[in-house]
Amino acid sequence: MNLPNKLTLLRITLTFLIMACLFAPGAAAKALALGLFGLASLTDWLDGYLARRQQHVTPLGVLLDPIADKVLVIGLLLAFVQLELVRAWMVLVITIREFLITGVRLYAAGHHIVIPAAREGKHKTFSQMATIFLILALLLARDLLDDAGRNQLEAWMPGVVLSCMWITVLLTVISGASFFWRNRTVLIDATSR
């Protein structure tokens, strides 16, 4: 197994460690969750960079990389639902979009069709990662503040999180609609088989 694939598997492992830290009490656990998320985000960029640079793009890597991305994003969003920070229906919309598009990409890859990432998808991914980073940072701040600061943070934190999630959901839906429109010939081919 090459280094890019090992980094992809590391990202999946880090997801579970981050989730464990989220449910542990104290600022140290939240700081560790934030740091591990930064590391996981770095592996997302680094595995693709190394695979292209070293020409180690493998079928396993093509399969695992998007799965690792989905595990990271959806896993943490589900943890936020459990912590009552994010609305479940928003995560459901994101999850459905991610699985549908991953399915289409895998179908296309099975027929030797490469579907490149589009600008809308990159904006969506950035929005998801930025929202997760912000929520993790707010959780850390909440544990670091004194009672007065914590009360102020908790007064406006739900509105900030909800606004970020709305942006993320809208970008998710827009990028999904754009993806399906742009790749409608692949979908027509899949439904005619």
pLDDT of residue 46: 82
pLDDT of residue 86: 97
Q: What is the pLDDT along the chain (193 residues), one digit of tens a residue?
A: 788 788 889 999 999 999 999 999 999 999 999 999 999 999 888 877 777 787 777 777 777 787 888 999 999 999 999 999 999 999 999 999 998 988 888 788 777 777 777 788 888 989 999 999 999 999 999 999 999 999 999 999 999 999 999 999 999 999 999 999 988 887 777 666 6
Between CA 139 and CA 160 the distance in angstroms is: 13
DSSP state of 145: S
* Contact status, residue 44 vs residue 11, Cβ threshold 8 Å: yes
pLDDT of residue 149: 92
Is residue 186 helix, strand or coil?
Answer: helix
DSSP state of 99: H
pLDDT of residue 184: 83
Between CA 190 and CA 193 the distance in angstroms is: 6
pLDDT of residue 191: 67
Scanning the structure block, which residue is given the tokens 């692949």?
Answer: 186
Between CA 62 and CA 4 the distance in angstroms is: 10
pLDDT of residue 162: 97
Between CA 64 and CA 85 the distance in angstroms is: 29
Between CA 40 and CA 81 the distance in angstroms is: 20
pLDDT of residue 111: 78
> For the stretch 47-67, what's the b/e string if a residue is b when 16 or more beta carbons lie within 10 angstroms of its beta carbon?
bbebbeeeeeeeeebebbbbe
Paired tokens of 184: 């409608």
pLDDT of residue 165: 97
Between CA 174 and CA 76 the distance in angstroms is: 22
Between CA 123 and CA 119 the distance in angstroms is: 6
Whole-model pTM?
0.88
